[in-house]
Amino acid sequence: MTTINTAGDVEWGPHAARLAEELVAAGKLTDSRLAAAVRAVPRHVFVPTYHQQTADGSWVERVSVDDLAAVYANTALITTLAATATGGTTVLSSSTQPGLMTRMIEALHLADGARVLEIGTGTGYNAALLSHQLGHGQVYSVDVEGELVELASPRLAGLGYHPTLVVGDGAAGLPENAPFDAIIATCAVPAIPWAWIEQVRPGGVVLADLKSAPGAGSLVRLTRRDDDRAEGHFDATYAAFMDLRHTPGSNPDGFRVERDHNQAEHSTTRLDPTTPWTSLLVWFLASFDLGPDIAYGYTLPEGGLIPAYSDTAPAASWIATPDGSWAEITFATQNGQHGVAEDGPRRLWRLVEIAHSTWVDLGRPGWDSFGLTVTPEAHTLWFDRPEGEHTWHIASH
């Protein structure tokens, strides 16, 4: 088989077979055509090296053939880093967790002969799975990073797959190749581009990670109902993809709001400050009031910033918005109450508390109790059913 010849002389087949078995056992892979694709596509060809962050925050490069078991594990692998304007490091591309990929592909309900557009070619691994399942003539994939497409193209071709690859901003879709039976986005969008809805046939599916604010939202599967509407539920499991960028090479730097505790208003709350992160639906609901731009993080006991990779226990969590509003909530309690410091024009923690009580009043529902209706003019989030009594309007970007 071509894959053996072009994937070098490493014994990757048993690893791919074990990955397929693991995904089947975990209920993330049920379609036999897709299972065959997972067994047939050498992930290490698409991810020859990847980056891992160490405990001190630095990045090290791993060579995939040195540890094939790690590359054929059900984990995301970071493949492309770039420097930020402020001297930090940002992730530009990764190979998505294979089990998430297979769940998403299965959620498209692709019949034989279906035509699919992928937004976010990245390594090309997912395009290879789709090409194996559907035939490469049915697969289109676009990435904003020309260098990634240049790398993915020969990897795919070396294995005998020739999907249509395009460099560009996937937010516009690929009108010249429409209509598609499905569009799958492997990057997060603040709103579902109407172009995607227009480019699937009536009854076709758009599957994307809707993040109306940082961390706020998840995978939603929309079916095009008619000329002016697409609708569907969120997936039961939370997922987070990297954000769609309209220009290659960079991610926007976050904003900073100085938090001066001497100026702040102090109060208490019964709501655990981990709540928005342990119940991400609360964060999603809160984001409609907080707004699309939110910064958040943890505060070290002595008041410093705590990076994501640190294992130092934080003392408080904080949120801030560009209007200068911020709230900082202590993890420690006194008589069951957490301390809250807030300043700026809006009381941000109060907005999280309101979102929390809304969610509790609704019976603490999961993601799949919510759905989305998209029209050219608006995004409407609904609980239970589109015409139900609980709806929220998502600001269009």
Measured in degrees and rounded to the nearest 5, phi and psi for residue 229 equal: -160, 140
CA atoms within 13 A on the CB side of 108: 27
Closest distance to ligand SAM from the beta carbon of 172 (Å)? 9
Residue number with CB closer to ligand SAM (120 or 163): 120
The CA distance from 44 to 170, in Å, is 26
Closest distance to ligand SAM from the beta carbon of 242 (Å)? 5
Closest distance to ligand SAM from the beta carbon of 196 (Å)? 11
Residue number with CB closer to ligand SAM (208 or 290): 208
Residue number with CB closer to ligand SAM (94 or 269): 94
Residue number with CB closer to ligand SAM (249 or 324): 249
Closest distance to ligand SAM from the beta carbon of 198 (Å)? 17
Closest distance to ligand SAM from the beta carbon of 167 (Å)? 9
The CA distance from 215 to 234, in Å, is 15
Residue number with CB closer to ligand SAM (34 or 144): 144
Closest distance to ligand SAM from the beta carbon of 61 (Å)? 17
Strand partners, 318: 297, 328
Closest distance to ligand SAM from the beta carbon of 246 (Å)? 6
Closest distance to ligand SAM from the beta carbon of 311 (Å)? 26
Reference 275, options 317, 311, 310, 335; nearest CA is 317
Applying CB under 6 A, the residues found at the interface with ligand SAM are 92-96, 119-120, 122-123, 125-126, 142-145, 148, 169-171, 186-187, 241-242, 244-246
Closest distance to ligand SAM from the beta carbon of 289 (Å)? 27
Residue number with CB closer to ligand SAM (105 or 306): 105
Residue number with CB closer to ligand SAM (96 or 369): 96
HEC-encoded secondary structure of the chain: CHHHHHCCCCCCHHHHHHHHHHHHHCCCCCCHHHHHHHHHCCHHHHCCEEEEECCCCCEEEEEHHHCHHHHCCCCCEEEEEEECCCCCEEEEEEECCHHHHHHHHHHCCCCCCCCEEEECCCCCHHHHHHHHHHCHHHEEEEECCHHHHHHHHHHHHHCCCCCEEEECCHHHCCHHHCCEEEEEEEEEECCCCHHHHHCEEEEEEEEEEECCECCECCEEEEEEEECCEEEEEECCCCCCCCECCCCCCCCCCCCCCCCCCCCCEEEEECCCCCHHHHCHHHHHHHHHHHCCCCEEEEECCCCCEECCCCCCCCCEEEEECCCCCEEEEEEEEECCEEEEEEECCCCHHHHHHHHHHHHHHCCCCCHHHEEEEECCCCEEEEECCCCCCCEEEECCC
Residue number with CB closer to ligand SAM (158 or 339): 158
Residue number with CB closer to ligand SAM (74 or 337): 74
Residue number with CB closer to ligand SAM (175 or 304): 175
Closest distance to ligand SAM from the beta carbon of 205 (Å)? 17
